[in-house]
Structure 1
Amino acid sequence: MAQLSVTTGDLSRLTTLVRSSDLEETQEIISHAYSPYQLDCLGDPDEFSAWYAESGFPGITVSGLSYGRRGGRAETLIRPQPLGSYLLVCEVTHGRVTVSSPGREEYRVGPGETYVLDPYRGFQVHWSPGARMFTVRLDREVVERAAADSLGVDGPVRARFALGKAISPQAARSWSTISGAVRQEVLGDGVARTNPLVATQLTQATASLLVATQPLITRGVHARRGGTVSHAALRRAMKLIEEHPDHPHTLTDLATAARVSPRALQEAFRAHLDTTPLGYLREVRLRHAHQDLLTAASDRSATVSDIAHHWGFSNLGRFAAQYRQRYGHPPSETLTG
């Protein structure tokens, strides 16, 4: 697997919950943070140490975790119970770990490599001395809706992930990019911390990329086409978008309102409007951003950044490019009159 970036950012942005050499204290605190687990020091217990810290925004929690000290001899074994309500995407930044699902799979992971722990399996993780990782935590329901959208079923589906690397080097790079963006939002005081719309969109994008890049297992579920969608269903989805453009809509939400499957709604938007449901939502928000810029041009009530972030455009460069393509000039020109 290609080595990915292991840049960690400013760790002071994470809230430290454990920095301890006490095994029982560590087990108790991290059991509450994740799920109940058994913790064993394999070697001299005087060499045991642990660090755990976390932070995030609504929808995603980023954590840092390490056991032992680099150059030491004490290894660590953890055996958590199944996670249940969420998934963990784990990226090793220092040292090595061996993760296994007893009697099924085993995967050795080094710096820059990633693995996924789904909510359903039992597993154990063997840590080399001083190994460290970052994790991205996503709610199970968010990921399983993304899996249903990907398969074109009404969902959600019971999504499980094989232990092992991403499905391709390109997929690994794509995951590394979104993981880096999430980490930057958390460690770099990003707008997702204070803007629910941006937080929801970034969470959904992260879940969708997880499903698209990691080895997904969905036994008994097969993609299917949605069939012909009536104009009434299309109008229902459009009406919801037009009336509530500031709501953090998902494809599943829009399909539910239209009373069709997500795949069928996507096909209807492409056939009749030459776009996607979320593309149409983005166009409506762009139109509202344009109106807000015109208002701000007369009363100086907001900046381009304020307006872009309000309408869920977290990447200002991308917002400016889309605005220029739609209106023929950059948003700053509208603001300055």
Structure 2
Amino acid sequence: MTERVRVNLDTPRAAPVELTDADAIEQLLSDSYSSMRVRSRHPARLRYQRVNGGSFALDTFEQSAVLDVRVEPLQTIVVDRSTTAGVHARRGADISRYDSGDLFLAALPDQPYTARVMPGRIDACVIDLALIARVAATAPGRRPEPVRFVGLDPLSAELAAHWWSTRCYVAELLNNSEAAASPLIVGSAARQLAAATLTAFPNTALTEPTVADRCDASTATVRRAVAYIEGHATDDISIADIAAAAHVSIRAVQLAFRRHLGMPPMAYVRRARIDHAHRDLVAADPAATTVGAIATRWGFANHSRFTAVYRKTYGVTPQTTLRND
């Protein structure tokens, strides 16, 4: 009888599954990515695990035999790393071979593809197109077309290494149950992954401010943006949210903050949150809470970094504030 295993993609961390039935392997991978056909000339064993971040997922799968796959368009961005398994991929007329350590996009979102996957391990990252669009958004109303990826391989080895280090960092965050429960931390991690993907792979995202953006980079824009940030510091807000609240493009709000405050908008968000963390430390009972719990509440996953930034801002450690106030 065919094994029937369906991974619940809505759970933060699905338990690892191990399959030996070819039809069950095909069904599992179809559920996780897109409809596909999976064939193997020899008995195959597949071990699969997914860690879900909402708008993205981190997958690991390892198989014991050569798998031939034919995949329908993904409608997502899937970044693969051939950790120990080689991959021979065909997308349209393009034929590529990837060896251990190589990073690549599985295919363009609307492009079917076929691949032969050798025994070994693949680490994958699945990213919603909506998340990519939010991070890459520029000049709303002036550039309505979506961002498109125009290449499947990283622009450089350095950018590929940066992408992989970002994924490792995000995986470490999601392995920490306290951090994984914080919407601020998971939201920030999602945007870091999307930004690293846009940086690493060729795409059509606009990167330079337009003339209109430069005109909009005013003190009035900063005031509107700051008011929104201060009123939404507890929320998982993005640069796109800030720009929308200020009624300008993302590039305009970025330029305005650099021009008038000397920092990026998200740095101002972090400063606002550390101010809220300071207030919580002052008001907290040291017998009932910890510095780590307050840091996590305000989106600081790295408690050592939180301590360093806090000390630079207030001249004392957060532990001192918690004890004395």
Residue 271 of structure 2: aligned partner: 283
The residue that corresponds to 1:318 in the other structure is 305
Separation (CA, whole Å) in 2 of partners of 1:292 and 1:93: 43
Compute the displacement of 1:124 (Å).
1.6
Deviation at 1:149, TM superposition (A): 5.0
Deviation of the 1:184 alpha carbon: 1.8
Q: 1:115 aligns with which of 99, 104, 123?
A: 104
Q: Which residue is 1:21 aligned to?
A: 20
Pick from 233, 250, 255 the counterpart of residue 221 of structure 2: 233
Task: Tell me which residue corresponds to 1:307.
Answer: 294
Q: What is the correspondence of 1:85-234 to structure 2 with a 5 Å cutoff?
A: 86-103=76-93, 105-117=94-106, 118-128=108-118, 130-148=119-137, 157-164=146-153, 166-186=154-174, 188-212=175-199, 214-218=200-204, 223-225=208-210, 226-229=213-216, 230-234=218-222
Q: TM-score, normalised by structure 2?
A: 0.87
Q: Indicate the residue corresponding to 2:63 in structure 1.
A: 67
Q: CA RMSD in A?
A: 2.4
Do the aligned residues in 1 keep the contact of 2:209 with 2:252 (CA within 8 Å)?
no
The residue correspondences of 1:260-299 to structure 2 (distance < 5 A) are 260-296=248-284, 298=285
Report the residue type matching 1:27 in the other structure.
E
Identical pairs, percent: 26
In structure 2, the partner of 1:4 is none
For 2:254 and 2:298, the matched residues in 1 are separated by 22
Secondary structure at the counterpart of residue 236 of structure 1: helix
Q: TM-score, normalised by structure 1?
A: 0.84
Do the aligned partners of residues 310 and 155 (structure 1) sit closer, same or farther apart at CA in structure 2, a change above 3 Å counting? farther
Instruction: Mark the runs of 5 or more structure 2 residues left unpaired by the alignment.
Output: 1-12
Is 2:82–2:99's contact at 8 Å kept on the other side of the alignment? yes
Distance 1:68 1:154 in 2: 47
Query: Which position in structure 1 is the counterpart of 2:67?
Result: 76
Q: Contact 1:59/1:199 (CA < 8 Å) preserved in 2? A: no
1:335 aligns with 2:325: no
Give 1:62's aligned amino acid. Answer: L
- Relative distance call for 1:99 and 1:190 in structure 2 (3 A) is farther
Equivalent-residue separation in structure 1 for 2:157 and 2:204 (angstroms) = 22
In 2, distance between residues paired with 1:150 and 1:24? 47
Equivalent residue pairs, number: 308
Higher relative contact order (CA 8 A, sep 6+): 1
Indicate the SS of the match to 1:306.
Answer: helix
